[in-house]
Structure 1
Amino acid sequence: MGPRAKVNPTLGKSIIRKRFEGKRRPTEKDTELHTVDLDDGPAWTKLQSITQQGDLDEFLHTAELAGTEFTAERMNVKIISTKQTANPYLLTAAEEEKTLERHRENRSRLKVPRRPEWDHTTTAAQLHRNEREAFMEWRRELARLQEDEGLLLTPFERNLEVWRQLWRVLERSHLVVQIVDARNPLLFRSEDLERYVKEIDEDKRTLLLVNKADMLTDRQREAWAEYFGEHGIRHLFFSAKESNEQLQQERERAEAEQLAQDLTRHTLTDEQLDEAAAAELKEEALHEEASQKPDFEAQVRAVELSADQLRTRVLTPAELVAVLIRESPAVGEQGRVVIGLVGYPNVGKSSTINAVVGSKRVNVGAMPGKTKHFQTIHLTDSIVLCDCPGLVFPTFATTKADMVCNGVLPIDQLREFSGPSALVARRIPTHVLEAIYGISIPTRPAEEGGDGVPTAEELLCAYAAARGLFKSGEGNPDESRAARVLLKDYVAGKLLYCHPPPSWPADVSFNAEHHDMATLASRSHHVVADPNAPGAFSVKHAASDRRNAQRAVRSNTPLASLDRQFFAPASGAALLSAQRRSKSHQVVQGRGYAQMLGNGIAARSLVNDRGEPIDSSAVPAAMSKQSKRHKKKRPSKQRSGAGIFEDL
């Protein structure tokens, strides 16, 4: 390898000299500030490349090009917001109402991409080219809607192949069932999809299936049924989760009964059970599976429900299939009715199919988008279900925090968590959060600008401190991890909040029954009835009663921490004492962390599984004392080649 090439050290200096040839180089005393006068400022700045500019620089540059003179004057300071707890990522009530009004005005501009017309003379290459051009034009229209009107859209599907799956399902289906989430049906409903179905064929019909209806009370279902009836929307209420749970219980009960019968009839040991007995059991299982299909068809034929019963009734799988057959158009005696299921990801399409079929025919997952291609399932001899992959239709949204709470944006990829957490704290009352998690949430008093509703920082700090979620190396509550847990509980329905219909009065609470203390007592063990006062309940803040949780919450409150440091009489003496001990080498590195970790383990050991403190005398002495034993290092084997140079 040859010697390294030498670099000319004077090359950079030569370039600088050439740049400022005939001119004086700028010094530290020179300024780069300029006014609106043209050709102002140092000469060496005129040929600088500008790719990005701030608001002030852009304003000055525009004024310079336009030759406009202006005068800047500092006036009196204005208070933009008097509410100290306002979150910049959320809208106020007036701004949200104004945004919703603009959504209603531009609702007709939200469209679903159409498949171009084709016939038997159209080649595959021509059809693909036409589809790409139509899809690009559809995306341009949505971009114009965002730029011209300044509206926020949810992240919609941008893959053409997924939309092709939807087109095939719509062309095959006689009845298109749009599945929505019962907590916010209008967000997951696409009005233009219903119009597109009618454009394909006038004989096709559409239906709205409100899944997860078990989260709604009778009063809430009645309110939504009234709203759907006023707007001519045909709807059904269904709960795939309840249906699958009942199906699982019936299957386990049948297996237990069959096992009991086998044990009473055949008292055989493992050695006596031969291949003949195994074949007999297998034949009985096949016979039982074959007999389930006629039984289900008999249950479907036996369903008789009136229109009044269908308004608010949560249907069973047999009742749902019977109503779908009734709502489907006539296809002739020899034809089969194809029912297409369409909806957002994670609204329960696959779970609905499994509940209707009675077995796990479609894979189900917590992550959205489990279904990749449309698939057909033969339900009966005359009914075929067609499952479409989950599609995110373009929909208006107020804020990104609202999209996170509605499950549209993934929580694990979240970067900004204060907005969604503040929205959860605003929708879920404080006593509900304390009752479900068994924590105490300190809020800012009214004299400091608080309004009784906890901020995102107060909620997340209280939860993280109570659950022991701290940042490594800092000791502060990990608000990011706490936000992910709370938001996942909100999306899963543990923190239940249902949106009211637009016709619901603003001064009437729509979720009063969900947030009632009697209802919370049945859902959480932290809410107990008061024996002295009938009908009264109390919340046990067991998780927040530990000293480490209280210390973390107090240390995270800026005003209280500053007040204690200012008024503490021995704070300065304690600080000087700590500095002296550290200088005198009395504080060993790592000793403080080991001591803190031991105290945290000891504090947690004095609490049972529910977070309630237990008697310290009941704890064994071995658990309270933590010993650290060092194991003697084993002698390692001598490697090959060791001792070669000993004789040299």
Structure 2
Amino acid sequence: MGRRSKVDPSLGKAIIRKRFEGQRRPTDRDTELHTVDLNDGPSWTKLQSITQQGDLEEFLHTAELAGTEFTAERMNVKIVSGSQAGNTFLLSADEEAQALQRHRENRDRLRVPRRPKWDETTTPSQLHRSERDRFMDWRRELARMQEEDGLLLTPFERNLEVWRQLWRVLERSHMVVQIVDARNPLLFRCPDLDNYVREIDERKRCLLLINKADMLTDAQREAWAAYFDREQIGYLFFSAKESNEVLRREREDAENNSESSTEESADKTPVDEASAFEERVRAAALDDVALRTRVLAPAELVAALQRACPKIADEHSKNRLVIGLVGYPNVGKSSTINALVGAKRVNVGAMPGKTKHFQTIQLTDDVVLCDCPGLVFPTFATTTADMVCNGVLPIDQLREFTGPSALVARRIPRWVLEATYGIRIPVRSEEEGGYGLPSAEDLLASYAAARGLFKPKGGPDQARAARVLLKDYVAGKLPFCVPPPDVEDSAEFNAEHYAPAAVAARSRHVIQHAPADFSVNRAASDRRPVQRAVNSVAPARADVLDRQFFGSSTAALQGAQRRAKTHHVEQGSGFARSTPAAIAARSVVNDRGEPILATPVAAVSTSKKHRKRRPGKARSAAAAAAADDF
């Protein structure tokens, strides 16, 4: 008799009885029906950012917004996902130009969902119902643009709760500041947001804060300033990273000085530091010429914002300027607030969507910051790879990596990639089926092999290499800045970033021999195991195939040709045993050693060989005589 189990079966039965309490249990004769329960799950999941949905998830979410309950037969449900044939990751130059032209033609159709009108007589349930209806109409219009017109949109925010946070920020703020990435400002700017702010109140102002401006050169900032002036777009250049670095150095110096004079540091209070910051704000007097291309300090930025938007007296602001900060996730919005406040008041994280609710921060006695959660506005995009490289999509959740990696290899010059990582990237020529530029496989295999990133079963792990390279690209280790629309040549626009002196300042793999003489140390790829690993992944090149084929067979073929002209060729050397007449007929051979017959084949006499019978068992004389008699 086996050992009795310690598990009490009555516990499972009690759970089942509790689950179907007051209900009839399903039987085998019941049809397999699946009922969807709406609004389930904990309350903290309501503000989760939703930018990508599959067909089924989008269908369920739309049903939830519409407040529709449905019952579907499970066995008859079939989800069909559309797919496009061919290479959908990158576009050619002509296809990209056509896509950008279509984007300009349909730019006015990209709108921000408006909050419906309400007053004191509107109940919360009525307001929520009207907000859902307005939001569903907005999503239908975007779906029509994608399906009927074939336009590619960025993965915009699909959660209504996040848009409600934006509506509250716009209603409270006197000035709305859109924070964008300096490497591609127009991708992160929503033009319709300015129209929406003016619809709420004509006295409100909008401004474009170009963060990460330290990645732009002086010439690049001048080009963008000229474009924004022509388009009549208010803008300011700022670098939260540099401001936080300056703040960190000031704190370290203060701590070092405090060790020698503890009494003076003890007298310093946060109130004194706030007063000192307000003094710097009042002392910052910059004219329009100085603000044109200058990367502002925190005090200078606050002074410029106060001058750009006067105070609007209302019952909520208490005679203070309320500045709303809006932007995509991962553009440095939280870092900007930390730089302005001078202390860590806002959580900062590499994963987009760290801030979940809007929050107000008292900056000075006259200025209040209103931080909105990171929100992805609907914007036209050329490819999904471009969205990954711009940091719109999270890299850790990436499944297809060849497209973004190929885009990085196309934008960054080959020698810059080699100098940054100290590797050697093989490139196939046009005769070998290449384009003269490194492919995604060449780049990823070279980096993975040089860094020791291999799969469990062998071979370079290109997926891990792609995540590292793409994160370096998004972080700015591989600099690339999109030029304004009136500048066509992006390579010339970024030429200053790829100068040998600039690359040598960023990488330790560039060796400077003279003021104008630089070389790249590619020691990471010169080891034989690395070379073998790269060659095993990269497609075989024409010269390698030629050496493999002709290197082992050319000498044997030439020797066989010489022997065929004058000697009898034995079997096993490339030719079968032949008679003297056949040898004479093969006196003329081609390059492969095959005979060129001087006489017709029928005239050549050949000897026919017969296979000898295998010897059997020796028979006795009596058996042989009996067989003969029979």
Q: What TM-score results when the alignment is normalised by the length of structure 2?
A: 0.72
Residue equivalent to 2:279: 298
Instruction: Pick one of 310, 326, 330 that aligns with 2:311.
Output: 330
How far off its partner does 1:284 sit? 5.2
Count of aligned pairs: 471
How far off its partner does 1:508 sit? 6.4
Q: Distance in 2 between matches of 1:431 and 1:202?
A: 52
Question: Which amino acid in the other structure matches residue 207 of structure 1?
Answer: L
1:35-81: per-residue Cα shift (whole Å, max 9, x none)? xxxxxxxxxxxxxx9979999xxxxxxxxxxxxxxxxxxxxxxxx9x
Helix, strand or coil at the partner of 1:114? coil
Which consecutive residues of structure 1, in runs of 5 or more, have no partner in the other structure? Answer: 1-48, 56-79, 81-85, 263-280, 571-648
Helix, strand or coil at the partner of 1:245? helix
1:528 aligned onto 2:511: yes
Given the superposition, is the C-alpha separation of residues 87 and 286 from structure 1 closer, same or farther in structure 2, using an over 3 Å criterion? farther
Residue equivalent to 1:540: 521
Helix, strand or coil at the partner of 2:180? strand
Residue equivalent to 2:301: 320
Residue equivalent to 1:518: 501
Q: Distance in 2 between matches of 1:451 and 1:129?
A: 56
1:259-308: per-residue Cα shift (whole Å, max 9, x none)? 1224xxxxxxxxxxxxxxxxxx7x95473322111111111111111101
Contact 1:461 1:553 in 2 (8 A): yes
Q: Distance in 1 between matches of 2:269 and 2:548?
A: 75
Q: Distance in 1 between matches of 2:337 and 2:167?
A: 20
- 1:358-437 equivalence runs, <5 A: 358-437=342-421
Residue equivalent to 1:501: 484
Identity of aligned residues (%): 68
Residue equivalent to 2:248: 248
Residue equivalent to 1:446: 430
Residue equivalent to 2:292: 311
Question: Which amino acid in the other structure matches residue 402 of structure 1?
Answer: D
How far off its partner does 1:558 sit? 3.0
Given the superposition, is the C-alpha separation of residues 466 and 508 from structure 1 closer, same or farther in structure 2, using an over 3 Å criterion? closer
How far off its partner does 1:465 sit? 1.1
Q: Bigger CA drift: 87-96 or 307-316?
A: 87-96
Question: Which amino acid in the other structure matches residue 110 of structure 2?
Answer: L
Helix, strand or coil at the partner of 1:338? strand
Q: Distance in 1 between matches of 2:508 and 2:334?
A: 33
Residue equivalent to 1:133: 133
Q: Distance in 2 between matches of 1:567 and 1:293?
A: 80
Q: Distance in 1 between matches of 2:531 and 2:91?
A: 32
Question: Which amino acid in the other structure matches residue 430 of structure 1?
Answer: R
- 1:4-83 equivalence runs, <5 A: none
Residue equivalent to 1:163: 163
Contact 2:162 2:375 in 1 (8 A): yes
Residue equivalent to 1:99: 99
Q: Distance in 2 between matches of 1:438 and 1:567?
A: 35
Contact 1:87 1:422 in 2 (8 A): no
Instruction: Pick one of 437, 460, 463 that aligns with 1:480.
Output: 463
Contact 2:441 2:538 in 1 (8 A): no
1:436-474: per-residue Cα shift (whole Å, max 9, x none)? 00001110023213332111111111111111111112x
1:130-188: per-residue Cα shift (whole Å, max 9, x none)? 10110111111101111111011111111111101000000000011010000000000
Contact 1:205 1:329 in 2 (8 A): no
Q: Distance in 2 between matches of 1:538 and 1:451?
A: 25
1:219 aligned onto 2:199: no
Residue equivalent to 1:550: 531
Contact 1:182 1:216 in 2 (8 A): yes
- 1:134-213 equivalence runs, <5 A: 134-213=134-213
Helix, strand or coil at the partner of 2:178? strand
Residue equivalent to 2:589: none
Question: Which amino acid in the other structure matches residue 468 of structure 1?
Answer: G
Instruction: Pick one of 450, 461, 472 that aligns with 1:489.
Output: 472
How far off its partner does 1:514 sit? 0.4
Q: Which structure has the bigger radius of gyration?
A: 2
How far off its partner does 1:331 sit? 2.5
Q: Distance in 2 between matches of 1:136 and 1:123?
A: 20
Helix, strand or coil at the partner of 2:540? helix
How far off its partner does 1:528 sit? 1.0
Residue equivalent to 2:328: 344
Q: Distance in 1 between matches of 2:435 and 2:455?
A: 29
How far off its partner does 1:413 sit? 1.5
Given the superposition, is the C-alpha separation of residues 568 and 461 from structure 1 closer, same or farther in structure 2, using an over 3 Å criterion? farther
Which consecutive residues of structure 2, in runs of 5 or more, have no partner in the other structure? Answer: 1-75, 554-630
How far off its partner does 1:564 sit? 5.5
Contact 1:204 1:329 in 2 (8 A): no
Contact 2:352 2:394 in 1 (8 A): no
Superposed CA RMSD in Å reads 2.3
Helix, strand or coil at the partner of 2:479? coil
Helix, strand or coil at the partner of 2:324? strand
Given the superposition, is the C-alpha separation of residues 556 and 109 from structure 1 closer, same or farther in structure 2, using an over 3 Å criterion? same
Given the superposition, is the C-alpha separation of residues 565 and 285 from structure 1 closer, same or farther in structure 2, using an over 3 Å criterion? farther
Q: Distance in 2 between matches of 1:565 and 1:285?
A: 78
How far off its partner does 1:332 sit? 4.7
Q: What TM-score results when the alignment is normalised by the length of structure 1?
A: 0.70
Contact 1:374 1:388 in 2 (8 A): yes
How far off its partner does 1:196 sit? 0.1
Q: Distance in 2 between matches of 1:559 and 1:178?
A: 50
Q: Distance in 1 between matches of 2:182 and 2:490?
A: 22
Q: Distance in 2 between matches of 1:222 and 1:136?
A: 42
1:98-156: per-residue Cα shift (whole Å, max 9, x none)? 00000000010001000000111111111111101101111111011111110111111
Contact 2:88 2:383 in 1 (8 A): no
1:496-538: per-residue Cα shift (whole Å, max 9, x none)? 100000011438611000011110011111111124xx40211
